Amino acid sequence: MEIEVQRGDARDAQVDALIVGVPEGAGLPRALGSLDAALGGALRAYLDSGQFSGKSSELVQIPARGTRAGRVLLVGLGKERSVDAEALRGAASRAGRALRSAKLKSAAAVLAGLRRPAPEAMAQAWAEGVLGGQYRFDRYRTLETPGPPLERLQLLAGDARHLAALRRGARAGAIIGEASCLARDLSNEPGSVATPEYLAQRARALARETGLRATIFGERELERAGMQGILTVGRGSANPPRLIVLEHGAPAPAARRRAARGRARPTIALVGKGVAFDSGGISIKPAAGMDEMKHDMAGGAAVIAALRAVAQLALPLHVVGLVPAAQNLPDGKAYLPGDVIRSASGKTIEVLNTDAEGRILLADALHHARSFEPQAVIDLATLTGACVVALGHECAAVLGNDQRLIDRVIAAGERVGERAWQLPLWDAYKKQIKGTTGDLKNTGGRPAGTITAAAFLSHFTENLSWAHLDIAAVAWRAGGDAESGARGATGFGVRLLLDLLRAWKT
């Protein structure tokens, strides 16, 4: 989909659909007067009759007689006072979905009449929203196909004042929106396709396209680095494990010298759980819903996608993405309850349940992150079912050892509609995972499962500034409770990470 910002009159746009966002309870914005006149007063008539009031759930399509467009899509933005980037993105997403259902090829969003958010954020929200709304995972469908996506989206500015800012926003929105779609694609891909090696190849390919540095640890490299956590979790699968490392803005030798003088780009490490399928292993999961465990690499997908966007946006940071990837399967070679694993850090892990595999491979990846001397480490993981119980599907859980970082994560999530709620990580919880044969047990029992999982990770992030996002409840929407398009992977975390990184200040 091509996105272009143009100055122009909505009446003259030759597109399949004009998209008009209307806030609730503010009447018809004056700037839409001429469009309304061309439409024979249809906009005002809809508002006056109460058939459309601008509520954020509303979307109506009306004929566009008197203009050069095929139809007009009125989308509600919600209460005038609370129209912000997030409200706009939501409306744009609903419009994007409707355009796809109607199999339209081109659309123009009318920006005149929208007073908030600021131009750059406004264009970003339109681009991200329409891209997200248009998203379908349809590569395996041959019978009822949703039809191709939009070819062209215009953002129509009423005047020339903010064109540069709008263009900046549209570009960022396109990059970030497409990164979300990439994360969703990777996560929606079946487990037999999106193997650890597949993820590594995709990472390598996008590194080549965008100038990232890719380093893939195969079994030999994992052995050499002592990453028995990753190797052990992956041992039951015919598809061997990998550690994928993507780097943007890696300091060149000269910069490293500057770094010694304290003027380097800050280094941020992003770690994503990449369990390419989680059957539970020998501690096998029940059959019902096990298909959803193809999404157990959603954290890794978010990290890979975010890295691509970081490169495209050329952020002035050194960002390292680490994705430990493995399939957790039962097999003659699979790891066993009772096994003791020596992790790369040297700490030993006693396996009580092979289904608590994420924390074992994250332990090695978090330990490796240390070698980049990062200013902050953020991990994303579909780590615990307990997180679904604790918070439901409205937010991720966030825990960590640096309140300032946690606050920034929460604030970024709030801005982009990917909310996170903090759970406590007091030392008292550590006793639940204290080992007997080894240093640490890989499960802490039923109570506070999300917290004890984070407490486990905290043993591998000592002296780092670290925040952990448990995205188990928000990484995908189950078939039953979601309409098509919204179903499956959500790409949760991509927008949060990019918002955080774009605003990063040391």
Which positions lie near Zn ion, rule CB under 5 A?
A: 275, 278, 296, 358
> Residue 273 CB, nearest distance to Zn ion (Å)?
7
Beta strands 267-272 and 376-381 are: parallel
Closest CB 242 distance from ligand BES, rounded Å: 18
The item of Zn ion, ligand BES, Mn ion, none sharing an interface with residue 472, based on CB under 5 to 8 Å by kind, is ligand BES
The single residue among 330, 337, 385, 417 that binds ligand BES, judged by CB under 6 A, is 385
**Cα separation, 155 vs 283, whole angstroms:** 52
Tokens of 119: 């131009």
The binding track of 343-382 with respect to ligand BES, each residue x by CB under 6 A or -, is: ----------x-xxxx-----------------------x
Look up residue 51 and give its two tokens: 């058939």
- CA separation for the pair 250, 253 (Å, rounded): 10
Q: Shortest gap between Cβ of 302 and ligand BES (angstroms)?
A: 14
Q: Please count the CA atoms within 13 angstroms of the CA of 375 that sit on its side-chain side.
A: 16
Instruction: Return the C-alpha torsion angle 224, 357, 458, 246, nearest 10.
Output: 50
**Which residues 6+ apart lie within 8 Å of 190 measured at CB?**
294
Interface characters, 287-306, with ligand BES (x: CB under 6 A)? ---------x----------
Is 470 a residue that touches Mn ion (CB under 5 A)?
Answer: no
- Is 472 a binding residue for ligand BES by CB under 6 A? The answer is yes
Cβ at position 487, least distance to ligand BES in Å: 16
The rounded distance, in Å, linking the Cα atoms of 369 and 377 is 8
Other beta carbons less than 10 A from residue 172's beta carbon? 21
DSSP letters for 317-353: SEEEEEEEEEEE--STTS--TT-EEE-TTS-EEE-S-
Which of Zn ion, ligand BES, Mn ion, none sits in contact with 385, Cβ below 5 to 8 A by type?
A: ligand BES
Tokens for 166? 């709008």
Closer residue to ligand BES (CB): 153 or 356: 356
Among 386, 397, 406, 416, binds ligand BES (CB under 6 A): 386
Judge whether 237 and 327 are in contact, CB under 8 Å.
Answer: yes
Q: One of 273, 308, 359, 408 is an active-site residue; which one?
A: 359
Nearest residue to ligand BES, by Cβ distance, number only: 385
- Active-site residue flag, 359: yes
- For 506, other C-beta atoms within 10 Å of its C-beta total 7
Choosing from 134, 443, 458, 490, the residue that interacts with ligand BES (CB under 6 A) is: 443
| Least distance (Å) between residue 310 CB and ligand BES | 26
| Catalytic site residue from 285, 342, 370, 430 | 285
Name residue 94's beta-bridge partners.
Answer: none
Of 241-280, binders to Mn ion (CB under 5 A) are 278
Does the annotation count 430 as an active-site position? no
Q: Toward ligand BES, which CB reaches closer, 286 or 346?
A: 286
Burial of 380-395, coded b for 16+ CB within 10 Å and e otherwise, reads: bbbbbebbeebbeeeb
Coil, helix or strand at residue 446: coil
Q: How many residues does the chain have?
A: 506
Would you please indicate which residues are annotated as catalytic (active-site) residues?
Answer: 285, 359
Q: What is the contact surface with Mn ion in residues (CB under 5 A)? A: 278, 355, 357
Q: What is the contact surface with ligand BES in residues (CB under 6 A)? A: 278, 296, 353, 355-358, 382-386, 388, 443, 449, 472
